[in-house]
């Protein structure tokens, strides 16, 4: 039984049903039924057209369920329109599914869960384990998302409502890309690597959508992911960029990411993801930390600051300025920012240390550790403070 | 999504507005209080925001290693002055504001006279595993 094949077919089968006018929740139930049937039948009787088989079975299930409904007469017309089974053009259908899952009426967490389930083909249990919540909680989150979509009439009339809309506005793509970026940033725990899953899905979107930001996001994910093996030591502690063993970076992923980015930049429609990917590429490109082209990185941060009002960008820019023009310049850039920003104290500590003030740096590292949002970062910052304090006579 | 711990205290929290010890409530008032908490958890399960919740017994002790070959030291039951946790609920919500909103609702559980207790609850964010990107 080829589970990977089933998983890869799931979204396009679901998309066909939705395009034919099935309510999203009903379509999903029907597809789940068809998958169960496939697991039962295929090992002894593999169909020649697996996708066509799934569409046919799922559509029958959907019609069976619909016929039993009170809305029977109204929907029976759909039977007449039933297209012949067999392969159908999947491209636009799958895109519509992405758009549906990233619908603005969903909260970010619901959009992420629904995307993983409907487009990624993950089971509710897998998603629940990745997010460390009970399966019942995740099941409710997903069915709530489906109800929200149904409640908005989003999927009811194909071709007329938003489900029938094509990906032709940059805003639509932006919503989908944001959802995928959220998935990527969740990292991983349990048996599903959400970062790898996000890359797989973004790869699909980038292949289907002619938009430089889709390519930009794919490049960004590849470049970050390439450095992941070097980001933590074997004991789980954080390794800062400058100290990472660059031999452990995935050069193939870096090469691919850079090539995708260059093709995207050549189209001259700059966006946030492309600019972030450009910064990641400059880091990935340096043979050693000392050879990093900080001047160019500052220029990209300036571009990025023009594209987004995210204050974290300006904080990162202050770090880059500190490297390009010295710690004093970095501290001056930092002084213009709100001290309550996340990681503000950590950046200040680093710049003060480089400026030759270990006392202020140790105090700020300790303050930053107190505010750190995750364990690895807290431990890392605590060690930095301890390292500086150990050098001073008690 | 972010997980938060909502902590209820037997002791140690600031005094609630409707400050009547539970043993002076009527049985109906106690039932109403319990039902409110139960309904609250059930509702969060439906919204996909519930992770875990447990009540704790008031008995507890501080325990400490006391050296090789010796039994751990305990200081016995919690003394009157100590902070005492009554139970917790873990929620997984979109952000801090939602966590505070829910804690506010939980704090409105009915107490003596059927009026909200205005109990103080502690809201604490979980330290998480590192996200993919921190650089």
**CB–CB of A137 and B94 under 8 A?**
no
State the CB neighbour count (10 A cutoff) for residue A366. 18
Partners of B88 in the β-ladder: B7, B54
Residue A169, pLDDT > 60, answer: no
Does the structure show a pLDDT above 70 at A141?
A: yes
What pLDDT does residue A162 have?
45
Can you tell me the distance from the alpha carbon of A382 to that of A369, in angstroms, rounded to the nearest whole number?
6
Q: Give the bridge partners for B2, in sequence order.
A: B93
Among chain B residues, the shortest Cα distance to A283 is held by B135
pLDDT at A329 exceeding the cut of 80: yes
* Beta-bridge partner residues of B92: B3
Q: Give this complex's ipTM.
A: 0.74
Q: Please provide the average confidence, as pLDDT, over all residues in chain B.
A: 87
User: What pLDDT, on a 0 to 100 scale, did the predictor assign at position B74?
Assistant: 83
Express each pLDDT in A229-274 by its tens digit: 898 888 878 899 999 999 999 999 999 999 999 999 999 999 999 9
Residue A170 has pLDDT above 70, yes or no: no
For B51, the closest of A133, A238, A241 (CB atoms) is A133
Q: What is the mean pLDDT of residues B8-19?
A: 89
Residue closest to A13 by CA, chosen among A114, A85, A113, A75: A85
Note the pLDDT tens digit of each residue in A371-394: 888 888 888 999 999 999 987 665
- What is the structure's pLDDT at A84? 54
**Assigned token pair, A59:** 């559509």
The partner residue sitting opposite A238, judged by closest CB among B48, B92, B130, is B130
pTM: 0.79
Integer angstrom CA distances of residue A264 from A117, A168, A274, A301, B80? 29, 18, 7, 18, 67
Judged by a CB distance cut-off of 8 A, whether residue A108 touches chain B is: yes
Average pLDDT of A199-221?
Answer: 94
Of B92, B128, B130, the CB nearest to A133: B92
Q: With 50 as the cut, is the pLDDT of residue A146 above it?
A: yes
pLDDT bin (cut points 50, 70, 90) of residue A164 is very low
pLDDT at residue number A307: 94
Closest chain A residue to the Cα of B90, Cα to Cα? A133
Q: Roughly what angle, to the nearest 10 degrees, separates helices A170-185 and A212-226?
A: 10
Give B-chain residues touching A187 at CB under 8 angstroms.
129-132
pLDDT at B133 over 70: no
CB contacts, 8 Å: A224 with chain B: 132-133
């Amino acid at each position: 039984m080829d589970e990977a094949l089933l998983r890869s077919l799931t979204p396009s089968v679901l998309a066909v049903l939705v395009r034919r006018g099935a309510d999203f929740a009903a379509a999903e139930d029907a597809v789940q039924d068809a998958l169960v049937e496939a697991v039962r039948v295929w090992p002894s009787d593999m169909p020649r057209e697996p996708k066509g088989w799934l569409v046919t079975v799922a559509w029958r299930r959907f019609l069976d369920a619909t016929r039993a409904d009170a809305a029977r007469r109204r929907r029976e017309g759909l039977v007449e329109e039933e297209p012949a089974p067999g392969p159908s053009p999947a491209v636009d259908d799958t895109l519509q599914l992405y758009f549906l899952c990233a619908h603005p009426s969903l909260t970010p967490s619901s959009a992420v869960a629904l995307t993983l389930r409907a487009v990624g083909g993950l089971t509710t249990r897998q998603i629940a384990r990745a997010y460390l919540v009970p399966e019942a909680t995740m099941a409710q989150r997903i069915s709530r998302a489906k109800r929200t979509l149904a409640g908005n009439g989003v999927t009811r009339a194909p071709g007329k409502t938003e489900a029938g809309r094509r990906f032709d506005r940059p805003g639509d793509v932006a919503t989908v890309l944001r959802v995928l970026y959220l998935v990527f940033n969740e990292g991983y725990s349990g048996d599903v690597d959400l970062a790898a899953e996000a890359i797989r899905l973004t790869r699909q979107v980038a292949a289907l959508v002619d938009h430089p930001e889709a390519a930009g996001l794919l490049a960004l994910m590849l470049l970050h992911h390439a450095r992941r093996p070097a980001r933590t030591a074997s004991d789980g502690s954080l390794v800062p960029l400058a100290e990472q063993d660059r031999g452990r970076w995935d050069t193939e992923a870096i090469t691919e990411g850079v090539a995708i980015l260059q093709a995207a930049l050549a189209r001259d429609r700059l966006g946030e993801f492309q600019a972030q990917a450009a910064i990641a590429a400059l880091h990935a490109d340096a043979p050693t930390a000392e050879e990093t082209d900080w001047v160019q990185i500052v220029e990209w941060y300036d571009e990025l600051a023009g594209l987004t009002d995210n204050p974290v960008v300006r904080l990162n820019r202050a770090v880059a300025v500190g490297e390009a023009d010295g710690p004093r310049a970095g501290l001056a850039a930092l002084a213009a920012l709100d001290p309550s920003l996340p990681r503000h104290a950590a950046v200040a500590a680093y710049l003060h240390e480089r400026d030759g003030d270990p006392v202020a740096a140790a105090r700020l590292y300790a303050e930053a550790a107190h505010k750190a949002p995750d364990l690895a970062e807290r431990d890392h910052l605590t060690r930095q403070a301890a390292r500086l304090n150990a050098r001073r006579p008690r | 999504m972010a997980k938060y711990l909502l902590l209820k205290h037997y002791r140690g929290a600031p005094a609630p507005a409707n400050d009547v010890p539970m043993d002076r409530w009527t049985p109906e008032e106690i039932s109403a209080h319990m039902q409110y908490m139960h309904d609250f958890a059930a509702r969060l399960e439906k919204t996909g925001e519930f992770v875990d919740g447990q009540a704790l017994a008031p008995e507890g002790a501080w325990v400490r290693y006391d050296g090789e070959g010796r039994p751990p030291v305990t200081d016995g039951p919690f003394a009157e002055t100590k902070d005492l946790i009554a139970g917790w609920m873990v929620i997984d919500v979109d952000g801090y504001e939602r966590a505070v909103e829910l804690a506010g609702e939980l704090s409105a559980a009915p107490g003596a006279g059927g009026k909200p207790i205005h109990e103080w609850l502690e809201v604490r964010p979980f330290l998480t595993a590192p996200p993919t990107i921190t650089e």
